[in-house]
Structure 1
Amino acid sequence: MNYLEALERFKKYVEDIKNISYAVNVMHWDGSTDAPKSSFPVRGESLGFFSTLEYEMFVTKQMDEDLNTLLENIDKLDDKESVMVHKARKEYDKLVKIPSDEIKEYQILTNRAQHSWEEARKKDDFSIFSPDLKEIIKTLRRFADYRGIKNHPYNIYLDDYEEGMTREKLDIFFDTLRKRIVPLLKGIMDSKKNIRDEFLSRDYPLDSQREAATELLEFMHFDLDRGLLKESTHPFTMGLNIDDVRLTSRYDKNNMISGMLSVAHEGGHALYEQNISRDLINTTLATGTSLGIHESQSRIYENNIFKSREFINFYFPKLQKRYPEQLKDVSEEEFYEAINNVKPSFIRVDADELTYSLHIMVRYEIEVALIEGSIEVDELPEYWNKKMEEYLGIVPPNNRLGVLQDVHWSHGLFGYFPTYALGSAYAAQFANKMEKDIKLKETLLKSDFKTPLEWLNKNVHQFGSLLTPDEISLKSTNELLNPNYFCEYLENKYSKIYNL
């Protein structure tokens, strides 16, 4: 077969899929923002139609033959074409190795599990959800067999979200965090430092918070002519393409900082999507390379920049001007300490910067144990509470605040949670290199937020998914992911705050 003909068909497929994906993403966006509730059934039918269409366009004998031909002539393709073909082959094999009837059954199972999880959480009754969770785990083990186990069945699912990541690498990663963050947390809890933060729950008008959110995005140099900020129950970012990047936040009149941190977090995601090289715009590579790298871009803005002393030095006077009554008796130092206060909490999404990764570590250890069969589903509530006490020093009073708090497992998203912790570690490593390259702290003190963005554009954003996470790390910091940067960042920051 002529490889040029195969390449032409493949590029036509890529063009068609991009058009379908745009339409599907717009429907998802509407469903999460402005669409009327009554539109759910019709939108669901449309999404189902496009999902089936994508599968039927991709999983064909012709596609299989074309991918084989292109791989045989891989040296004749340019870098973008080569990476796209390799990624397509990997996805194709993933889909065809699992019987289609079992995929359909699994979709039915996870749909049912979402409802049983909601009911279990509502009634604080784990037994309502456990039968479906048992079946999900059983199915994931079987799917891992179909796809070809690499050393450990969990590795299959880790690689789906973070290419190249393995259980073996994560064990070393989390062992480092465990040895350094757990003692640090204990030191903080034993310290006599009392941080004042009651002013964060004062009444902050919602309209003013919305104005401040837009202003913050402008400080970050997010291009609002190519992007959009709206509100949703759960904040998220959606990159439809480089010139159409949308994000949402949510606001609480008695929790102003939550809305600001949400905008900084989602704004980091959005800047990644908005600054991918235009050379990738007509490819499947014009998106983030992995969930971990994507999360690093949100974390670096939320934690390493927004919650830094240097940024607060710039931003707090503006907040005082916007909220003169609410912040009239608050100093810059008090505000800085308040937004960095460490308080172990039961709920992951409410966790502070230091304890968040410990929440992820609990979930990682549970997922590995469930997939390999070293613990049973019925043991989960007790096992969960044991790990929470071991790492965070607290025990949830019920399952709603414990093992039933996250929706992820009802969707079958095993291997997803670790990317949150990886993102924080990548962010600290990038920030460390930025300090060496552009003197990040001095740059922020000068109210220069363009230079940090340019560094990220050059070293991370522009490559989209053309490079792997390891390649991004090596290219930008000259080494692979090293969790010690994250630990050192936390130790230096919080030792000063808590006088340790």
Structure 2
Amino acid sequence: MSKTFELLQPYLDKDMALNTALTLLSWDMETLAPSGGMDYTAKAVGVLALESFNTLINEDVNSLLTKLETPDEQAGLDEVEKAIVKKLRKNYNDLKVIPAEEFKAYSELQATASNVWAQAKEKNDYNHFAPVLKKLIDFQRKFIGYRYQGEGNRYDVLLDDYEPGFTVEILDKFFNEVKETIIPLVQKVSANKDKVDNSFNYRTYNIEKQKEFCHFMAEYIGFDFNRGVIAESAHPFTTNLHNHDVRITNHFLENNLESAIFSVIHETGHALYEMQIDDRLTQTVLGSGTSMGAHESQSRFFENNIAKSTDFWLPVYPKLQEAFKEELKDVSLEDFIKGINQSTNSLIRTEADELTYCLHILIRYEIEKMMFNNEVEVEELPEIWNKKYEEYLGIRPETDSEGVLQDIHWACGNYGYFASYAIGSAVAAQIYAHMNKVMPVEQYLREGNLTPVREFLKENIHKYGMLKKTNELLKDMMGEELNAKYFTDYLTEKFTKLYELN
């Protein structure tokens, strides 16, 4: 380590510690914290966020980075140190243009907004959340103004926070390719919906038994309970302090068996990514998944490509039947597999099936583009949302709680995030196609042996943290960047067979 980098290290360590505290507060506020204390806790969040901001966004850090960027200093840095300097410079440039007090005010608003959103959703009262949403959007529009360099779409600024290298131009092309295949396929499946039945899913399933099975399922896929925990929250999510403390949440519905099972599989996919990041990277600015799309590819890979296959359930289904002897005694493995793969045009993104899920994301992507190109106001969002659901899925929300209020993302300030879900699904299909070429995946699943699958993902994706971008990982793994055709071919083959469309 160079002497200059040694001078930078205390700033990095302090920022890491502050962000660890912020992560713990966020975890607590989403799981166990009493709702009545949110406003008070938000003040602490604001102070910590401002301290984190000031720790790295100052002239001392800027001077150290400038020196570390010189050829002589670069020659003395290893690969990880160079990447840290590069990432830190990007973060510095993104944040230095934002006034510190505005950053603090925005952080405090974020800390309280989730609670306001939860109240509005529970009461089906969009007007309760709309003023807070307007403030959040106004902040982000202002921040875009500070950061926008005059090239491309203004929304690119937010997309880059979650998916570096993916712009509106690239994503419009991607979504158009997906739409050309998926919308006609959804229409064909809808016309044959009676061919698949999953009514067994809505029987009554004991919550405690669900929790036991989900604990087993997380461990079966590879979640290490010595380095992770599972809690409950309204909206399942994954977070981490470092690769030895990774936390996921789940939720349980008495009359929906699939919901908890596939939520825990999904979140375990995220958790494995964080747990398998190299020790050298954890607790640094590189110590997380390289992008939200890459992260979603891991959760969607396990949730859909792996865990909705017959091969995966062959060794597992008997255990599920043992847990729910009466409820599943008349449901064969074949019927179970068909049921969990059923496609239905539905209103709720988190409960959407694999085929229609991308259309839910498309709707949010198009609305966010409108929001940040100043083409729509907050008051108009519910109606625009409803019209797009009618256009793409042929159904219309009857309430705002099942419409524009259904997601927590906007309350958390996560604008530009949604597109990553679609990218993740496409990347997952691409990885799955390649993996099947280089190893006997189906055989491993039938044997109940997921170790080779986990190791492949670790060696080709997880261990690199943020050292490589999404397309770099794909290029190094299989010789090509993101290609939507793997995704559309996968869905076409799967649902044509399931619904006997030929």
Shift of 1:403: 2.4
Find the counterpart in structure 2 of residue 458 from structure 1.
Answer: 459
Query: Is the CA contact 2:50–2:100 (under 8 Å) kept in the aligned structure 1?
Result: no
Query: Is the CA contact 2:38–2:115 (under 8 Å) kept in the aligned structure 1?
Result: no
Shift in alpha-carbon separation, 1:27–1:413, aligned structure 2, 3 A: closer
Shift in alpha-carbon separation, 1:6–1:427, aligned structure 2, 3 A: same
Structure 2 unmatched runs, 5+? none
The 1-side partners of 2:385 and 2:441 are apart by 39
Q: Which digits, 9 at most, give the CA deviation of each residue in 1:177-231, with x for residues without a partner?
A: 1111100000001126332222212222222222211211222122222222233
Q: CA RMSD in A?
A: 2.4
Shift of 1:124: 4.7
The 2-side partners of 1:180 and 1:329 are apart by 36
Shift in alpha-carbon separation, 1:383–1:8, aligned structure 2, 3 A: same
The 1-side partners of 2:278 and 2:125 are apart by 49
Find the counterpart in structure 1 of residue 192 from structure 2.
Answer: 191
Shift in alpha-carbon separation, 1:465–1:264, aligned structure 2, 3 A: same
The 2-side partners of 1:99 and 1:17 are apart by 18
TM-score normalised over the length of structure 1: 0.92
Shift in alpha-carbon separation, 1:301–1:138, aligned structure 2, 3 A: same
Find the counterpart in structure 2 of residue 33 from structure 1.
Answer: 31
Find the counterpart in structure 2 of residue 491 from structure 1.
Answer: 492
TM alignment of 1:43-122, pairs within 5 A: 43-72=41-70, 73-107=73-107, 117=117, 121=121
Query: Is the CA contact 1:141–1:153 (under 8 Å) kept in the aligned structure 2?
Result: no
Find the counterpart in structure 2 of residue 152 from structure 1.
Answer: 153
The 2-side partners of 1:232 and 1:130 are apart by 23
In the alignment, residue 146 of structure 1 is paired with which amino acid?
A: Y
TM alignment of 1:377-396, pairs within 5 A: 377-396=378-397
The 2-side partners of 1:234 and 1:490 are apart by 26
TM alignment of 1:437-476, pairs within 5 A: 437-476=438-477
Shift of 1:453: 0.7
Greater shift, 374-383 or 188-197, is seen at: 374-383
Shift in alpha-carbon separation, 1:311–1:51, aligned structure 2, 3 A: same
Shift of 1:16: 2.5
Shift in alpha-carbon separation, 1:227–1:367, aligned structure 2, 3 A: same
Query: Is the CA contact 2:242–2:282 (under 8 Å) kept in the aligned structure 1?
Result: yes
Shift in alpha-carbon separation, 1:498–1:165, aligned structure 2, 3 A: same
The 2-side partners of 1:90 and 1:145 are apart by 17
Shift of 1:457: 0.8
Shift in alpha-carbon separation, 1:399–1:47, aligned structure 2, 3 A: closer
Find the counterpart in structure 1 of residue 323 from structure 2.
Answer: 322
SS of the equivalent of 1:228 reads strand
Find the counterpart in structure 2 of residue 229 from structure 1.
Answer: 230
Query: Is the CA contact 2:97–2:147 (under 8 Å) kept in the aligned structure 1?
Result: yes
The 2-side partners of 1:409 and 1:320 are apart by 39
The 2-side partners of 1:119 and 1:38 are apart by 12
Shift of 1:118: 5.4
The 2-side partners of 1:8 and 1:30 are apart by 34
Matched residue pairs, number? 498
Find the counterpart in structure 1 of residue 141 from structure 2.
Answer: 141
Shift in alpha-carbon separation, 1:208–1:130, aligned structure 2, 3 A: closer
**Percent of aligned pairs sharing the same letter:** 40
SS of the equivalent of 2:194 reads coil
SS of the equivalent of 1:229 reads strand
SS of the equivalent of 2:53 reads helix
The 2-side partners of 1:381 and 1:34 are apart by 31
Shift in alpha-carbon separation, 1:129–1:17, aligned structure 2, 3 A: closer
The 1-side partners of 2:113 and 2:35 are apart by 22
SS of the equivalent of 1:193 reads helix
| 1:20 aligns with one of 14, 18, 21 | 18
Shift of 1:255: 1.9
Structure 1 unmatched runs, 5+? none
Query: Is the CA contact 1:245–1:274 (under 8 Å) kept in the aligned structure 2?
Result: yes
Shift of 1:426: 1.0
The 2-side partners of 1:98 and 1:14 are apart by 20
Query: Is the CA contact 1:385–1:402 (under 8 Å) kept in the aligned structure 2?
Result: yes
Query: Is the CA contact 1:429–1:477 (under 8 Å) kept in the aligned structure 2?
Result: no
In the alignment, residue 46 of structure 2 is paired with which amino acid?
A: G
Query: Is the CA contact 1:193–1:499 (under 8 Å) kept in the aligned structure 2?
Result: no
Shift of 1:126: 4.6
